[in-house]
Chain A
Amino acid sequence: MKKKYCIAVTGLNAIDSPGPGISVIRGIRDSKDFDCRIIGFAYESLEPGIYMHDIIDKTYQIPYPSSGTDALMERLNYIHATEGLDVIIPNFDAELYSFIKLEPKLKEMGIKVFLPTLEQFEERHKVNLPKFGQKYNIRVPFSREIFSSNEIYGLSKDFTYPLVVKGKYYDAYIAYSAEQAINYFGKISSKWGLPIVIQEFIKGTEYNVIGLGDGKGNTIAAVPMRKQYITDKGKAWGGITIEDKDLLKITDSFLSQTKWRGGFELEMMKSPKNEYFLLEINPRIPAWVYLAVGAGQNIPEAVVKLALGEEVEPFKTYQTGKMFVRYSWDMIVDLDDFQKISTFGEL
C-alpha cells in the first residue's frame, strides 16, 4: 500500500502571471510512489486554485509575508492541528524568507520543507547578482541598485540605453530613456518596494533552466527551455525543451559551487556571440515546471521525497522537443464557495 502525505502548496494564482502552485500540484499528483492530500495556501480569495476542487482538497488563507512570521506561525499551527501537514512547498519569492526562518520550528512540529539556506537565498538576490557572478565565475550583466528616482539621470555614467529596470522580487521593464526609467521606477517601487535594480540590457534570446539541487552540490534535475510565446508581462505562454550542453554545464557548476538546496530557475540570455549571461536566479520552482514533468523529470515529486529525507536518484535524461502551451479557462463558481473563503478563510 502506498503512503499518503498531506502536502501544502502556495502559489495558487493561476493567472496571466501565474504562480507555480497548480503545476507543482499536478506533478505531485502524478507520483506513482505516494498518495497525497493537497492543501492549498492562498493569500487572496480569488486565486483560481482555491476553486479547483479536483486538484486541491482544501484551501486555507494565510497571512501576507508583511504580517511577519508570528502571524504565519499562528495560522500554520491552526492548519496543522486540523490537517496534520507533512510537507509545505512555498512557491513565492516573497514568502520564502518566512518559511526559511520557520524551518526549525516546522521541523519540531513534524512539517518538512526543502528550501535553500538563508545565505543561499540572500546571495543570489538580484541586488547581489554582480558579486554572485564574480564569486562563482558566472557571466552576469552589469547592474546596480538605486533607492531614488533622482539617481536615474546619473545612470548614464555607467549605463547606455536601453537598460532594464527591475523590482526586487518581480517585474522588469526595458527603458529606452531616462523618462521611461523614472516611470518604471515608480510603477515597480509602488508595488514591490525598494531598492530598484538597474541592469545592463543584453540583446539576445532568452533561455531558462529549471533545476533541483540536493543541498550537497548534486544536480537532481535540470531541464532547459526556450520560451516560444511570451506575454506582455514577459511570462512564457508556450515553451519547448531544448538540448544544450552549455546550459546544463552552467547549471551543474552553479549547484556544485553553491550547494543549492531546493528548486530554482536560472534565467539566461544568449548573446549573438553565443555567450550566456545569467539574468536572474529564481529561488523556487517556476510556473512552467509541468513541462519538466512532461519531459521526464518530476521535480515536484522529487522535492517532496527530498523534504521527507528520502534518497532521490538524479534524473539523467529528459525529452527534447517537448512543448507546453498554456491556456486560460473560465470556471463557474458558486457564490457560496466565494463566501466561505472570504468569510472563514478556508474552503
Chain B
Amino acid sequence: MKINKNVSISENGFVFNPTTGESFTVNPIGVEIINMIKMHSPEEEIKKFILEKYATDSSGFDKDFYDFIQMLKSYNLFDEENEENEN
C-alpha cells in the first residue's frame, strides 16, 4: 500500500490530491491510518495500533479497514502504478 506521494493531509483531516484537484475530509482515525500508510507501516501494525487504542475487534477492523482502503483507491489516492511495480 502506497499513498500517492503528492497527496497532502493536514492534522485536522483535510486531504488534497494535487493531481486531480479533489479534496476530502477524513475523521481522526482516518488521519492516523493514512499517516501510518504514508510511513509504510504494514497492515498488521496498523491493526495492532487501532485495536489497542480504540474499542473495536479484529473482524470489525478488517471490514472497516478494507472499506476505507477501497474508498481511498476509488478516489485515486493510492500510487497504484508504483505499487504494481513493487509487486
B16 and A242 contact, CB distance less than 8 A: no
A205 and B20 contact, CB distance less than 8 A: yes
Question: Closest Cβ of chain B: how far from A58's Cβ, in Å?
Answer: 39
In the complex, chain A residues 225-271 whose Cβ is within 8 Å of any chain B Cβ: 225-226, 228, 239-244
Q: Which of A225, A228, A239, A242 has the most CB of B within 10 A?
A: A242
Contacts of A244 in B (CB 8 A): 19-20
Which residue of A is nearest B76, CB measured?
A274
User: Does A321 lie at the interface of the complex (its beta carbon under 8 Å from any beta carbon of B)?
Assistant: yes
The interface size of chain A toward B, counting residues with CB under 8 Å, comes to 13
Give the docked Cα–Cα distance between A240 and B22 (Å): 9
Contact with A along B10-36 (1 / 0, CB 8 A): 000000101111100000000000000
Give the docked Cα–Cα distance between A207 and B18 (Å): 13
Q: Is the interface of B mostly helix, strand, loop or mixed?
A: loop
Question: Closest Cβ of chain B: how far from A227's Cβ, in Å?
Answer: 9
User: Does A320 lie at the interface of the complex (its beta carbon under 8 Å from any beta carbon of B)?
Assistant: yes
B16 and A321 contact, CB distance less than 8 A: yes
Contacts of A205 in B (CB 8 A): 20
Q: Which of B6, B16, B19, B22 has the most CB of A within 10 A?
A: B19
Give the docked Cα–Cα distance between A241 and B17 (Å): 11
Give the docked Cα–Cα distance between A321 and B19 (Å): 9
Give the docked Cα–Cα distance between A240 and B20 (Å): 9
B16 and A243 contact, CB distance less than 8 A: no
Give the docked Cα–Cα distance between A321 and B14 (Å): 13
The interface size of chain B toward A, counting residues with CB under 8 Å, comes to 8
B16 and A226 contact, CB distance less than 8 A: no
Contacts of B21 in A (CB 8 A): 207, 225-226, 228, 239-242
A226 and B20 contact, CB distance less than 8 A: yes
Contacts of A228 in B (CB 8 A): 21
B18 and A321 contact, CB distance less than 8 A: yes
Contacts of B6 in A (CB 8 A): 243
Give the docked Cα–Cα distance between A243 and B22 (Å): 11
Give the docked Cα–Cα distance between A22 and B85 (Å): 48
Which residue of B is nearest A228, CB measured?
B21
Question: Closest Cβ of chain B: how far from A276's Cβ, in Å?
Answer: 13
Contacts of A207 in B (CB 8 A): 21
Which residue of B is nearest A227, CB measured?
B21
Give the docked Cα–Cα distance between A320 and B18 (Å): 6
Question: Closest Cβ of chain B: how far from A138's Cβ, in Å?
Answer: 21
In the complex, chain B residues 20-55 whose Cβ is within 8 Å of any chain A Cβ: 20-22
Question: Closest Cβ of chain B: how far from A296's Cβ, in Å?
Answer: 14
Question: Closest Cβ of chain B: how far from A149's Cβ, in Å?
Answer: 38
Which residue of B is nearest A207, CB measured?
B21
Q: Which of B8, B16, B20 has the most CB of A within 10 A?
A: B20
Query: Chain A: residues with CB nearer than 8 A to chain B?
Result: 205, 207, 225-226, 228, 239-244, 320-321
- Listed by A's residue number, 6 A-B pairs whose Cβ atoms lie within 8 Å are A226-B20, A226-B22, A241-B21, A242-B19, A243-B18, A244-B19
Query: Chain B: residues with CB nearer than 8 A to chain A?
Result: 6, 8, 16, 18-22
- Which 6 A-B pairs rank lowest in CB-CB distance, beginning with the nearest? A226-B21, A242-B21, A320-B18, A243-B18, A240-B21, A321-B18
- 6 additional A-B pairs beyond A228-B21, A242-B19, A243-B18, beta carbons within 8 Å, are A225-B21, A226-B22, A241-B21, A242-B18, A242-B21, A243-B19
